[in-house]
Amino acid sequence: MIFTVAIDGPAAAGKGTISRAVAEAFGFAHLDTGALYRAVGAKGGDPVQAAQTLSPEDLARDDLRTLEAGQAASRVAALPDVRAALVDFQRRFARREGGAVLDGRDIGTVICPDAEVKLFVTASAEVRAKRRWAELGGDYDQVLREVIERDMRDAGRASAPMRAADEAVVIDTSDLSIAEAIAAACAEVRRALPQG
């Protein structure tokens, strides 16, 4: 069975946690597409060449979840040639046999516009900054500024800006527990799965 779940949304909204849980619940493969961009940003040097030569070792780096890697990812993701280098990989992954869950910023709008399920996971900037601050520490006000700046950059870029696909179901996790957010996402997937 080929079945794609596209999960988009801003940083620290919970889409990674939800995506991994959905993939596990339904036995689908999971791809955190942000990790591709984080790895490109973390490699340094020419970002296009870094995207074209991305290796499994690059994706296994232990510094990909840092705030710095996230900011670097947002910068390189705005480059059309970097995006183009990574699109084919993502599309092949999405249509693999056995089902796939991809999370990122433009999965439902650009990478997999024909995905069987499209979700847009969001939360207020303040809630997302608190989550990121609890995870990474530092100065909360600085983290909030960086979250807002990243949102503006991701939503304002010329190539594949972050936005909810027209038919996406929006899940606002601001006031939801992790279990409630996962349950909401799983309900949407279950509704779309072929019966029988």
Q: Residue ranges for the binding site for ATP? A: 9-17
Sheet of 117-122, strand order: 29-32, 100-104, 4-8, 117-122, 169-172
β-strand partners of 117: 5
The CB-based long-range contact list for 38-44 (8 Å cut-off, 24+ gap) reads: 38/64, 38/65, 38/69, 38/70, 38/72, 38/73, 39/64, 40/73, 40/76, 40/82, 40/86, 41/69, 41/71, 41/72, 41/73, 41/75, 41/76, 42/69, 42/72
Cite the annotated binding site by residue number. Answer: 9-17
Q: Please say whether the beta carbons of 70 and 55 come within 8 A.
A: no
Coil, strand or helix at 120: strand
